[in-house]
Amino acid sequence: QVGIYGWRKRCLYLLVTLLFAMVIMNVALTVWVLRVLDFSLDGMGRLRIVERGVRLEGEAEFLNSLYAAQIRSRREQPLNIESSKNITLNARNNQGQISNRLFIGNSIVEAFADEFRVRDSRGKLLFRAADDEVTVAADSLKVTGPGGVGFDGSVQTPLVRSETYKPLKLESPTRRLKVEAPQGVLVESKAGDISVACHRNLTLQSRQGEIFLDSERIVFQNLKTPLPASSGSPYKNVFQLCVCQTGVLFLSEPDGQCRADDSVCK
């Protein structure tokens, strides 16, 4: 007779029993892991595999980079993206190079792109920034800071105005201030005064037209009063200032009367 007897038989039974126990423990651990991680045919836990991608219900923590074509939240639910250090969003071109980048760090937000645009919900352009120019396409640009706004170069705009009941001041501390337009420049104050001050000379020049001072009262202050010459002869290059009924100013001889023809007072 051929067989296993004695202690060999007992060792074989013990080995089979241990293997059977290990199989049971393995199956139990597998079932426990499946229950804890909530494995199913649709996904794992709150991670569900849907037709158009992957859906995550709840919070998720990514230890490394995340590559996705689209990230969105459920309907009527917010989408929160948090990081203990910073958040960097990169967009790559066909060659795999980074073409655009949005960096959100500690007290700083930076955008790296050739052109930056801001649009409203209807798609209307509100702000555009590029190397050649910066465009503000809103109805009005409002600066509420106490120091105003400073420009190093030229500014092109059809209207410059202040808030209601607030003064408007245009100033160039160390250089000149030039305001020009192809058709006309209108300076108007509907409820207050207009003040023009300079350190040296103030010139009002009209190359082809006229200069109108339209007011019921025109005051010239701090004019010099010359003393009469000791010889009794009048000063040279001194004339009388005459006014027509139409308001036109002209010069007359110092010792004569204010007389002019119709061509002067037109």
**Local confidence band at 235 (pLDDT 50, 70, 90 cut-offs):** low
Note the pTM of the prediction, 2 decimals. 0.46
SS (H, E, C) 83-94: CCCCEEEEEECC
Query: Are 125 and 137 spatial neighbours (Cβ–Cβ below 8 Å)?
Result: yes
DSSP 3-state assignment of 24?
A: helix
In this structure, what DSSP letter does residue 246 have?
A: T
Q: Tell me the C-alpha distance between 105 and 87, whole Å.
A: 6
Token pair listed for 85? 């250090």
Inform me whether the pLDDT recorded for 157 exceeds 90: no
Q: For 2-6, 91-95, 244-248, which range has the lowest pLDDT when averaged over its residues?
A: 2-6
**Local confidence band at 10 (pLDDT 50, 70, 90 cut-offs):** confident
Inform me whether the pLDDT recorded for 228 exceeds 70: no
Q: Tell me the C-alpha distance between 217 and 148, whole Å.
A: 34
Q: Which residue carries 């010459």 as its tokens?
A: 229
Q: What are the sequence ranges of the domains in the chain?
A: 1-72, 80-138, 234-266
* pLDDT reported for residue 230: 64
